[in-house]
Amino acid sequence: MESKTIKRIPKIAADLSLLFVALSWGATFIIVKTAVEDLPPFPFLAVRFALAFITLLPFLWLQRQHLNKTAIKKSMLIGIFLFIGYVFQTIGLQYTTASNAGFITGLNVVIVPIFVAYYQRKFPPKTIVLGVICATLGLAMLSLGDNLAINSGDPIVLICAFCFAAHIFLVGRFAPEVNATVLAAFQILTVAVLSGLCTLVIPQPPMIFSGYVWFSLILTAVICTSLAFFLQSKMQQFTSASHTAIIFAAEPVFAAIFAYLLAQEILSLRGYIGAAFVLAGILIAEFSSIRRKL
């Protein structure tokens, strides 16, 4: 059954689909950064993920035979880390540039192998350590200003990177046990519910549902959340996790491209060098993962 499924979708089609996921996530940085000027982070996340869950309901209905308490609990646990990651990312975007946030978030691809090494009680390979050092150096060059001051939003987004790394790590552990549609849908629902509760409990600034906000909500909900998580869950069946991570390393690159195209954000020379170090660190870490599997 599994081999027939693999033959149905060529590897190149899976890779291109995952590249589209990276592109959609990279585009969200500048879109969300602009939208939260009118609609605060918590209500924005609540509406975005509620809409995304609604769009997944037809797929969830088709997979209803896979619904059970264990699957839902594991999905909700993953959703908690996803929620914390999105909260810190969305808040951090208010105090740093979209390009910076994109590259810093990309560090999660380096952090994941560290989590795996800790879980397996094995010290990370030298290539992983080199990747972490390289990415950290790049992060410093990217985030530190001329007066060696860190943008106030950069440490917030860095916390988001750790949360997303924990999310990816847990998905890797639970995905073989839980149906992909169930796993994606209840992650998204968890984020929607927690964001809604925070909106009600925490005093919020005025909420302006402008035309651009609705455009951002629908775009990020349908394309960058429900479709992106659905594609990731499905297409990772046809390519390796390490290969997927390398493709997702393109996300911060797309973030910088969209930041330039939509907001004319331009990195300094040191920023470009720092970004190159971050990408080098990500690729070093992930290529080492491939070598361990060969």
Secondary structure in 3-state letters for the chain: CHHHHHHHCCHHHHHHHHHHHHHHHHHHHHHHHHHCCCCCHHHHHHHHHHHHHHHHHHHHHHCHHHCCHHHHHHHHHHHHHHHHHHHHHHHHCCCCCHHHHHHHHCCHHHHHHHHHHHHCCCCCCHHHHHHHHHHHHHHHHHHECCCCCECCCHHHHHHHHHHHHHHHHHHHHHCCCCCHHHHHHHHHHHHHHHHHHHHHHCCCCCCCCCHHHHHHHHHHHHHHHHHHHHHHHHHCCCCCHHHHHHHHCCHHHHHHHHHHHHHCCCCCHHHHHHHHHHHHHHHHHHHHHHHHHC
pLDDT score, position 197? 95
Q: Which residues pair with 150 in a beta bridge?
A: 144
Q: Which residues pair with 144 in a beta bridge?
A: 150
Calculate helix-pair angle for 126-143, 108-119, nearest 10 degrees: 140
Amino acid in the structure at residue 192: A
In a domain, 45, yes or no: yes
The vertex-152 CA angle with 248 and 118, nearest 5°, equals 45
pLDDT score, position 6? 38
Instruction: Say yes or no to pLDDT of 148 above 60.
Output: no
- Decide: 180 and 13 in contact? Cβ < 8 Å: no
Longest dimension (CA), the chain: 60
In a domain, 153, yes or no: yes
In a domain, 7, yes or no: yes
pLDDT score, position 245? 67
pLDDT digits (tens, 9 = 90+) for 264-275: 777 778 778 877
pLDDT score, position 221? 93
pLDDT digits (tens, 9 = 90+) for 233-244: 777 777 666 566
Q: How confident is the model at residue 196 (pLDDT cuts 50, 70, 90)?
A: very high
In a domain, 24, yes or no: yes
- Decide: 181 and 60 in contact? Cβ < 8 Å: yes
Tell me what percent of the residues of the chain surpass a pLDDT of 70: 86
CA dihedral 209, 210, 215, 220 (to 10 degrees): -40
- Comparing 30-39, 44-53, 131-140, 162-171, which segment has the lowest mean pLDDT? 131-140
In a domain, 272, yes or no: no
Count how many domains the chain has: 1
Q: Would you state the structure tokens that stand for residue 199, as one six-digit string? A: 């909106």
Instruction: Say yes or no to pLDDT of 263 above 80.
Output: no
pTM of the model: 0.78
Average pLDDT of the chain?
81
Range of the domain at 198: 2-125+149-265
Q: Would you state the structure tokens that stand for residue 56, as one six-digit string? A: 């997944």
In a domain, 138, yes or no: no
pLDDT score, position 241? 61
pLDDT digits (tens, 9 = 90+) for 12-27: 787 788 889 988 988 8
Query: What are the C-alpha distances in Å from 141 to residues 21, 150, 249?
Result: 27, 10, 18
Instruction: Say yes or no to pLDDT of 177 above 60.
Output: yes
In a domain, 196, yes or no: yes
209: number of Cβ within 10 Å: 12
- Identify which has the larger pLDDT, 14 or 182: 182
* Cα 93 from Cα 160, distance rounded (Å): 11
In a domain, 76, yes or no: yes
pLDDT digits (tens, 9 = 90+) for 221-234: 999 999 998 888 77
